[in-house]
Amino acid sequence: MDVILRQDVENVGRAGELVTVKDGFGRNFLLPRGLAYLASEANRKRIEAEAKHRVKKAGAQLDSARELAERLEAVSLTFAMKAGEGEKLFGSVTAGDVADRLLAEGFTVDKKAVELDEPIKALGVYKVPVRLHHEVKPEVRVWVVKE
């Protein structure tokens, strides 16, 4: 069965490609989930139109992400935390805490977009990357000070 992929499918192909798959895989998996169209000239034109729309939408998303990144670069968040000996915190500052504080500052950022490898457990100044787009990753300054 020849199909035109609407989305990237692992081990099959990329969006817009004409691929040959087994009948059962195409009929029972790709077509019902909307991952592919049957190969025809009308569907080929439909895929091209979807690709143009996808490119236009991706460009708009990239522009808005760059604009937000410029504003985020200027943001500095301060967390007042209780600390013990050796400047170690009682508790920690997590990605969720950073996302909540950004929301309080007027920035809507998902906590999954805050790329904090592990929670901050010591006093100091940290640069925390925020993934807005696969090409745009601004860094927010996080100050952790003693309460």
The pLDDT tens digits for 48-98 are 888 888 889 888 999 999 999 999 999 999 999 999 888 899 999 999 999
Express each pLDDT in 90-121 by its tens digit.
Answer: 999 999 999 999 999 999 999 999 999 999 99
- Domains of the chain, first to last: 2-67 (3.40.5.10), 74-146 (3.10.430.100)
Confidence of residue 138 (pLDDT cuts 50, 70, 90): very high
pTM, two decimals, is 0.67
**Tokens at 48, concatenated:** 């091209």
